[in-house]
């Protein structure tokens, strides 16, 4: 019962922003002097404690606001280390802190407006800062009759430095996995904040059924030759293998369409092909999966990739086929096919443009496709884009609603390999007028960027929201096709009404299924539902946590001497 009482007390201290004004009015009516502090508090260290203690001595009530998870912009976009719920509880556990509030934004401005503090205390390191956010905070405090004080309590630490040291130690093997907050706990806190659980996943999968999605891009044939154990040849130091059997998979834009179909959508693929046996083989493979292929018969043969695998390890990849850009007649046929598909039936729910570098798409055709299919044409609600490698066509995807480049592809197109990932993402998104960008980073997972204001006129008036999703794969076996599964599931989830973080999570879950098996197999809705049921972060919290969070208690007005 002691643990439950402590949890209840912590939750009594954590105040929603909309209740802050009434709380402040109550304190002022009792002649209590209100002090406000603000920060990220990613790791509450001795410097924070001294700073907050010193600030509290200047008044009767100490309110601490912290920056929400999606408003923290740090270097590679993977911060914060501690989710906002836990950071709030850490601060609420300090006896001298009266109230804690989570700010929806990078500054304390909304908190200042609601609280109108008598004193706003910032660390002494900010005294000579010319940051525009701090200037706005100061103006709001003074407009409300308060004043600003710079004081750090005599001890200065840096959360960023502490975390960098911990991460360096972890990489060098000097720190055990139990030293920090468990990744499952961090992810569970994020999923709770995003409204993600197994029931939501099941409902979203149902809503994904029947969505009409057009995929435009290069179709490839992925061939896997599975071999007996490799050994060194007798005549030279080269590998010697004996192929035992082979498998053929749809690749590139073809597997994108296959993912859409197997996840419950109705996929149509437009791609450049030929009259060769490989194109015919891929045509039949896609039709067997339920995909409707539309071929532009402009190539001599369909490109293919041959992979040799022994003991689960890929030994060699051989690429067959060269880039063959469409001529003017081919471009006209591509646009006409897209028009005809979009005009058929009840129209399209989404379009995916995927440039894999073999010529079906180019900067000359991407722009006209978006123009024809978007708000000024067939009014497709969602257009998403992706590229394989640093391709100029990414720059032509202006007006898409979603892009999913790798970090390298994003930095290449921006020409910036040194800036922070959030700043690079924001610059590209603003230039291309794209409201949602999901940047993949291999083993480090991915970072989602999206605007705070849904109004397109104000997408870039404020710092973008950012959410880090760690890799959900237990053990990566074959990463081929992971990005395609990510994009297909994310698009379908967005079309089914999921928010940006919810859709990105489902995309990450689909990608994790792909990388844990050999071969470019499409992910099915059943597989995605099964994987979701096994994820610990999607399960309900422990009963004591539900009880503590669900108890309705009045906001605290802790007694202080007049």
Q: 433-468 pLDDT, tens per residue? A: 999 999 999 888 999 999 988 999 999 988 888 899
User: Quick one: tokens of 156?
Assistant: 């200065």
Interhelix angle 183-194/500-515, nearest 10 degrees = 140
How far does Cα 165 stand from its chain's mean position? 25
**Strands of the 465-469 sheet, one edge to the other:** 292-297, 266-273, 212-217, 350-355, 382-387, 402-403, 437-440, 446-450, 465-469
What confidence score (pLDDT) does residue 246 get?
84
Cβ neighbours of 315 (radius 10 Å): 14
Of 365-379, 420-434, 543-557, the range with the lowest mean pLDDT is 543-557
How are beta strands 313-320 and 350-355 bridged, if at all? unpaired
> For residue 164, is pLDDT > 90?
no
Q: What is the DSSP letter of 523?
A: P
DSSP secondary structure string, 486-522?
A: HHHHHHHHHHTT--HHHHHHHHHHHHHHHHTSSS-PP
User: Quick one: tokens of 449?
Assistant: 């960027």
H-state helical runs in 233-310: 253-262, 277-289
User: Quick one: tokens of 189?
Assistant: 């806190």
The pLDDT > 90 percentage for the chain reads 54
Of 21-25, 512-516, 544-548, the range with the lowest mean pLDDT is 544-548
Q: Which residue has the higher pLDDT, 168 or 455?
A: 455
Structural contact between residues 260 and 351, judged by C-beta atoms closer than 8 angstroms: no
Band of the pLDDT at 431, cuts 50, 70, 90?
very high
Bridge partners, residue 45, by sequence: none
Give the Cα separation of 14 and 27 in Å (integer): 16
- Tell me phi and psi for residue 516, to 5 degrees: -90, 10
Band of the pLDDT at 174, cuts 50, 70, 90?
very low
Beta strand segments in 328-372, E? 350-355
Radius of gyration of the chain, Cα coordinates, nearest whole angstrom? 27
Residues ≥6 apart with Cβ < 8 Å to 410: 421, 424, 425, 428, 437, 439
> For residue 395, is pLDDT > 80?
yes
Q: Residues 221-278: pLDDT tens digits?
A: 998 888 887 677 666 777 777 788 888 899 999 999 999 999 999 999 999 999 999 9
What confidence score (pLDDT) does residue 337 get?
97
Structural contact between residues 273 and 299, judged by C-beta atoms closer than 8 angstroms: yes
Single out the residue of 501, 503, 500, 526 nearest to residue 513, CA to CA: 526
For the chain, counts of helices (H) and of strands (E): 19, 20
Q: Residues 289-330: pLDDT tens digits?
A: 999 999 999 999 999 998 888 877 777 888 898 899 999 999
pTM of the predicted model as reported, rounded to 2 decimal places: 0.75
- Scan for tokens 């556990």, then name that residue: 93
Q: Residues 70-115: pLDDT tens digits?
A: 777 655 666 677 888 888 988 998 888 999 999 888 889 999 999 9
> For residue 187, is pLDDT > 60?
yes
Handedness of CA 250, 253, 255, 261 (dihedral sign): negative
Band of the pLDDT at 492, cuts 50, 70, 90?
very high
Structural contact between residues 459 and 451, judged by C-beta atoms closer than 8 angstroms: yes
Single out the residue of 532, 293, 504, 252 nearest to residue 386, CA to CA: 252
Structural contact between residues 202 and 491, judged by C-beta atoms closer than 8 angstroms: no
List the Cα angle 536/541/544 in 5-degree steps.
145
What confidence score (pLDDT) does residue 557 get?
34
User: Quick one: tokens of 112?
Assistant: 């200042």
Single out the residue of 366, 365, 383 nearest to residue 374, CA to CA: 383
DSSP secondary structure string, 199-211?
A: HHHHHHHHHHTT-
Cβ neighbours of 422 (radius 10 Å): 21
> For residue 522, is pLDDT > 50?
yes
Q: Which residue has the higher pLDDT, 424 or 47?
A: 424
Residues ≥6 apart with Cβ < 8 Å to 114: 17, 20, 21, 24
Q: Which residue has the higher pLDDT, 262 or 474?
A: 262
Q: Which domains does the chain have, with CATH numbers?
A: 2-181 (3.40.50.620), 194-543 (3.40.1190.20)
Interhelix angle 525-534/500-515, nearest 10 degrees = 100
Q: Which residue has the higher pLDDT, 64 or 546?
A: 64
Of 213-222, 362-371, 458-467, the range with the lowest mean pLDDT is 458-467
What confidence score (pLDDT) does residue 107 get?
86
Band of the pLDDT at 129, cuts 50, 70, 90?
confident
What confidence score (pLDDT) does residue 297 get?
95
Mean pLDDT across the chain: 85
Band of the pLDDT at 552, cuts 50, 70, 90?
very low
What confidence score (pLDDT) does residue 559 get?
36
Beta strand segments in 104-201, E? 119-122, 147-150
Burial of 287 (0-12, 13-18, 19+ CB in 10 A): exposed
Band of the pLDDT at 534, cuts 50, 70, 90?
very high
CA quadruple 396, 397, 403, 405: dihedral, nearest 10: -20
Structural contact between residues 506 and 497, judged by C-beta atoms closer than 8 angstroms: no
> For residue 160, is pLDDT > 70?
no
DSSP secondary structure string, 147-166?
A: EEEE--TT----HHHHHHHH
Q: What is the DSSP letter of 90?
A: H
What confidence score (pLDDT) does residue 73 get?
65
How are beta strands 219-227 and 243-252 bridged, if at all? antiparallel
> For residue 155, is pLDDT > 80?
no
> For residue 8, is pLDDT > 60?
no
What confidence score (pLDDT) does residue 79 get?
64
């Amino acid at each position: 019962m002691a643990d439950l009482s402590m949890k209840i007390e912590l939750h009594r201290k954590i105040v929603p922003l909309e209740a802050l004004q009434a709380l402040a009015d109550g304190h002022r009516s009792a002649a209590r002097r209100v002090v406000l502090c603000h920060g990220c508090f990613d790791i509450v260290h001795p410097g924070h404690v001294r700073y907050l203690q010193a600030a509290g001595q200047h008044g009767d009530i100490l309110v601490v606001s912290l920056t929400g998870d999606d408003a923290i912009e740090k270097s590679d976009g993977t911060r914060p280390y501690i989710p906002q719920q836990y950071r709030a509880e850490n601060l609420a556990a300090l006896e001298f802190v009266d109230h804690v509030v989570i700010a929806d934004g990078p500054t304390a401005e909304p908190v200042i407006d609601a609280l109108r503090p008598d004193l706003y205390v910032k660390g002494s390191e900010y005294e000579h800062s010319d940051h525009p956010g701090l200037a706005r905070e100061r103006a709001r405090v003074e407009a409300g009759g308060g004043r600003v004080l710079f004081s750090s309590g005599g001890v200065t630490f840096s959360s960023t430095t502490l975390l960098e040291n911990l991460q360096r130690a972890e990489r060098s093997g000097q720190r055990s996995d139990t030293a920090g907050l468990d990744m499952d706990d961090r992810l569970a806190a994020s999923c709770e904040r995003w409204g993600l659980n197994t029931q939501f996943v099941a409902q979203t999968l149902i809503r994904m059924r029947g969505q009409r999605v057009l995929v435009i891009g290069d179709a490839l044939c992925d061939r896997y030759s599975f071999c007996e154990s490799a050994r060194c040849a007798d005549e030279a130091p080269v590998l010697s293998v004996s192929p035992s059997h082979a498998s053929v998979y749809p690749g590139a834009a073809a597997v994108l369409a296959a993912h859409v179909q197997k996840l419950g959508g109705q996929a149509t693929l437009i791609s450049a092909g030929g009259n060769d046996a490989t194109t015919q083989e891929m045509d039949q493979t896609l039709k067997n999966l339920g995909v409707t292929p539309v071929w532009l018969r402009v190539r001599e043969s369909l490109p293919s990739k041959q992979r040799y695998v022994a003991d689960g390890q890929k030994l060699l990849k051989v690429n067959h086929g060269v880039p063959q850009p469409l001529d003017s007649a081919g471009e006209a046929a591509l646009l006409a096919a897209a028009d005809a598909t979009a005009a058929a039936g009840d129209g399209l729910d989404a379009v995916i443009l995927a440039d894999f570098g073999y010529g079906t798409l180019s900067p000359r055709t991407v722009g006209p496709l978006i123009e024809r299919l978007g708000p000024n044409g067939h009014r497709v609600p969602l257009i998403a884009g992706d590229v394989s490698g640093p391709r100029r066509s990414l720059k032509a995807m202006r007006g898409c609603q979603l892009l999913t480049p790798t970090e390298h592809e994003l930095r290449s197109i921006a020409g910036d390999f040194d800036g922070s990932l959030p700043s690079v993402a924001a610059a590209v998104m603003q230039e291309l007028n794209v409201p949602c960008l999901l940047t993949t980073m291999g083993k480090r997972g991915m970072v989602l960027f999206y605007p705070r204001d849904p109004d397109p006129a104000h997408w870039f008036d404020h710092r973008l929201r950012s959410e880090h999703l760690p890799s959900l794969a237990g053990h990566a076996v074959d990463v081929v096709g992971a990005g395609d599964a990510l994009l297909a599931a994310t698009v379908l989830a967005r079309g089914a009404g999921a928010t940006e973080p919810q859709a990105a999570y489902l995309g990450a879950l689909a990608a994790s299924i792909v990388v844990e098996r050999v071969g470019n197999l499409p992910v099915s809705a059943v597989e995605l539902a099964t994987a979701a049921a096994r994820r610990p972060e999607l399960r309900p919290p422990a009963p004591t946590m539900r009880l503590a969070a669900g108890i309705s208690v009045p906001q605290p007005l802790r007694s202080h001497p007049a």
